[in-house]
């Protein structure tokens, strides 16, 4: 793989492919959830922007923009539709065709092996809390390594295990929709990191010379608005919740004993931890970190109100005014803080470009020179199109320009940043926020044959890449 800086954009299988039951694909937990009563929005990814049938057009559009890399994910249940371990050749063929298209334009594939969409047959056994999940994942990833090999030079095991576990078991807005369940959160987090390590163990068996493996982390290191000792303690605890249990085993191959002791004090039963898993983690760490950058993680000392987790899914996707803030609080540990002076997006999330710099510098401070790819960065908005479907998304351009300013500054200051991916390549299904929360560089007209129309930000990115391709 060329050592050029990678400039690209990202998508994920369930969010863009559609074709949810085509060519032998099995159901994932997202298919199951979206088709069930629990999905009160009734919005699904059944068709989405139908990348399954539009991949040629979409990849050509990336190339025309000057992008030299594409981050996408493989749908596990397209490859292994049933629990019998029989490989669906048509599933492999689809991704072969996507890779052919990338090769045609010199686009480097950066491929995530799972992006939230566990096969439903694993969901039925307990999902990420099923202790067999890591062997199942190891088997699935081996099938991928064997088949795709070095055609994929950048593999990532799991997308945002932190956010995924959080939504599954704390907020309850992702399947299996459990709320405030710290016991299952801890179990899920642990199993995910065992999955990560076992997949890496499979990967290493192939002795690839031109392929590397990482995982994608979804949040910034915690920070605070005050230096007082109680705030520092809250920062540490917020990191214990959403950073350290992922980054430390993935990069260092071990857990911090203080973290483990504190988790036990919360009353969490850690009997699921096995020495053999810890040994596998120790020997199987990542080559690079995928870091998604959106906003800060501000901590303050826990005050009151009990353990609770809320998100803002903005009034069931109707595009209105809801600016409610998100809350994370663990009794005795921390609460998330709010800075009254920062701008918020329509979902109550901070727009805070300097967090890109602090995130990268703090990662370097802790983990040294590890290669980092910014695997996602982007702006969710209720885009308004003109009569030709064109979107003048100046807000998105401003967001990306400002975040990139800080990312490039961190690179100049010594962080080993090797690539950047806008979330997202085109408009797609935004999980529980449906289709009105748009992130794409390219608009998808869902009412008009899924027509693709590049937005102003697409042309801005093209220009930006042309000026920065040799950094």
Binding site for ligand NOJ (CB under 6 A): 12, 15, 159-160, 218, 292, 376, 423, 430-431
The count of other CB atoms within 10 Å of the CB of residue 51 is 25
CB of 210 vs ligand NOJ, minimal distance in Å: 26
The count of other CB atoms within 10 Å of the CB of residue 466 is 11
CB of 13 vs ligand NOJ, minimal distance in Å: 10
CB of 12 vs ligand NOJ, minimal distance in Å: 5
Strand, coil or helix: 57: helix
Nearer to ligand NOJ by C-beta: 134 or 430?
A: 430
Tokens at 238, concatenated: 């917020």
Nearer to ligand NOJ by C-beta: 15 or 297?
A: 15
Nearest to 419 by CA among 358, 375, 366: 375
376 is catalytic: yes
Nearer to ligand NOJ by C-beta: 73 or 88?
A: 73
CB of 199 vs ligand NOJ, minimal distance in Å: 18
Q: In what order do the strands lie in the sheet with 308-310?
A: 222-223, 297-300, 334-336, 327-330, 308-310
Question: What does the alpha-carbon distance between residue 297 and residue 349 come to, in Å, rounded to a whole number?
Answer: 10
**Is 326 within 8 Å of 310 (Cβ atoms)?**
yes
Tell me the DSSP string of 11-35: --HHHH---TTGGGPPPBHHHHHHT
- Enumerate long-range contacts of 227-233, CB under 8 Å, 24 or more apart: 230/301, 231/299, 231/300, 231/301, 233/301
CB of 224 vs ligand NOJ, minimal distance in Å: 24
| Residue where the block lists tokens 């989405």 | 48
Nearer to ligand NOJ by C-beta: 7 or 421?
A: 421
Question: What does the alpha-carbon distance between residue 223 and residue 352 come to, in Å, rounded to a whole number?
Answer: 13
Nearer to ligand NOJ by C-beta: 114 or 263?
A: 114
Nearer to ligand NOJ by C-beta: 14 or 240?
A: 14
Which residues have a Cβ under 8 Å from the Cβ of 285 and sit 6 or more positions away?
Answer: 197, 200, 250, 251, 252, 253
Tokens at 155, concatenated: 């593999």
The count of other CB atoms within 10 Å of the CB of residue 434 is 18
CB of 380 vs ligand NOJ, minimal distance in Å: 6
Nearer to ligand NOJ by C-beta: 88 or 247?
A: 247
Nearer to ligand NOJ by C-beta: 67 or 292?
A: 292
Rounded to the nearest 10°, the torsion over CA 56, 22, 84, 149 is 0
Nearest to 346 by CA among 318, 310, 386: 318
Catalytic residue (one of 17, 160, 248, 350):
160
CB of 248 vs ligand NOJ, minimal distance in Å: 21
Report the Cα 104 to chain-centroid distance in Å: 27
CB of 295 vs ligand NOJ, minimal distance in Å: 11
Nearest to 43 by CA among 312, 434, 430: 434
**Where in the sequence numbering do the catalytic residues fall?**
160, 376
């Amino acid at each position: 793989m060329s050592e050029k800086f990678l400039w690209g954009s990202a998508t994920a299988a369930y969010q863009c492919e559609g074709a949810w039951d085509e060519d032998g694909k099995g159901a994932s937990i997202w298919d199951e959830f979206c088709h069930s009563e629990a999905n009160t929005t009734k919005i699904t990814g059944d068709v989405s922007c139908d990348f399954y049938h539009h991949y040629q057009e979409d990849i050509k559009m990336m190339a025309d923009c000057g992008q030299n890399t594409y981050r996408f994910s493989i749908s596990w249940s397209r490859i292994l539709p049933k629990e019998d371990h029989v490989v669906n050749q048509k599933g492999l063929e689809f991704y072969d065709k996507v890779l052919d298209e990338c090769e045609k334009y010199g686009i480097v594939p950066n491929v995530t092996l799972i992006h939230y969409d566990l096969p439903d047959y694993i969901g039925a056994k307990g999902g990420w809390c099923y202790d067999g999940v890591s062997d199942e994942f190891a088997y699935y990833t081996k099938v991928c390594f064997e088949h795709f090999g070095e055609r994929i030079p950048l593999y990532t095991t799991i997308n945002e295990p932190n956010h995924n576990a959080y939504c599954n078991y704390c907020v309850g807005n992702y399947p299996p929709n459990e709320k405030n369940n710290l016991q299952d959160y801890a179990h899920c987090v642990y199993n995910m990191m065992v999955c990560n390590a076992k997949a890496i163990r499979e990967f290493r068996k192939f002795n690839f010379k031109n392929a590397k493996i990482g995982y994608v982390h979804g949040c910034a290191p915690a920070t605070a608005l005050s230096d007082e000792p109680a705030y520092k303690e809250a920062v540490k605890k917020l990191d214990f919740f959403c950073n350290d249990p992922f980054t430390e085993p993935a990069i260092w191959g071990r857990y911090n004993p203080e973290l483990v002791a504190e988790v036990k004090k919360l009353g969490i039963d850690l009997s699921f931890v096995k020495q053999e898993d810890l040994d596998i983690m120790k020997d199987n760490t990542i080559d690079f970190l995928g870091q998604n950058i959106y906003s800060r993680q501000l901590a303050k000392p826990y005050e009151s109100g009990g353990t609770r987790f809320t998100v803002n899914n903005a009034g069931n996707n109707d595009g209105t005014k809801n600016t409610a803030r998100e809350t994370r609080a663990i009794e005795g540990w921390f609460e998330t803080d709010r800075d009254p002076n920062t701008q918020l997006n329509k979902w109550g999330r901070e727009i805070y470009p300097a967090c890109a710099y602090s995130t990268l510098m703090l990662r370097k401070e802790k983990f040294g020179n590890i290669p980092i790819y910014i695997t996602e960065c982007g702006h969710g908005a209720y885009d308004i199109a003109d009569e030709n479907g064109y979107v003048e998304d100046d807000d998105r351009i401003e967001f990306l320009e400002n975040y990139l300013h800080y990312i490039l500054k961190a690179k100049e200051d010594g962080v080993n940043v090797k690539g950047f991916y806008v979330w997202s390549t085109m408009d797609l299904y935004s999980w529980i926020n449906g289709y009105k929360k748009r992130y794409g560089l390219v608009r998808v007209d869902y009412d008009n044959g899924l027509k693709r129309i590049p937005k102003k930000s697409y042309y801005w990115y093209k220009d930006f890449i042309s000026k920065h391709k040799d950094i």
